[in-house]
Amino acid sequence: MAQVSSSHKEKAALNFKKAQSLLAKIITMAEADKYCIDIVQQNLAVIGLLKSANQLLMEGHLKNCFSSAILAKNQTKQTAMVDEILRVSRLSSK
């Protein structure tokens, strides 16, 4: 099966690293009893980074893996890929 393009994965990985760094900062802030709104703002920044990384990975998956499955003209593979996309979409909307 085709893989998500390295460009999408690299950008997503960068967002994950930024989110990881911010999470460490948030934990330090919470432990130091910093102002709640400052913590909330940093938390929202992490959420934004994670959503962006998710979008990049999904875009790469649709452009590569999903396209390959559809072009393969294998009904079982196509159905499995559509089911997979639907399952992940449901998870991301929770």
**CATH number, domain with residue 32:** 1.20.58.1000
> Is there a domain that residue 15 lies in?
yes
pLDDT at 2: 47
> Is there a domain that residue 56 lies in?
yes
Q: Read out DSSP for 52-87?
A: HHHHHHHHHHIIIIIHHHHHTT-HHHHHHHHHHHHH
Give the range of the structural domain holding residue 22, as residue numbers without chain letter. 6-89
> Is there a domain that residue 94 lies in?
no
pLDDT at 4: 59
pLDDT at 9: 94
pLDDT at 69: 86
> Is there a domain that residue 1 lies in?
no
Provide the number of structural domains found in the chain: 1
Residues of the chain with pLDDT under 50: 1-2
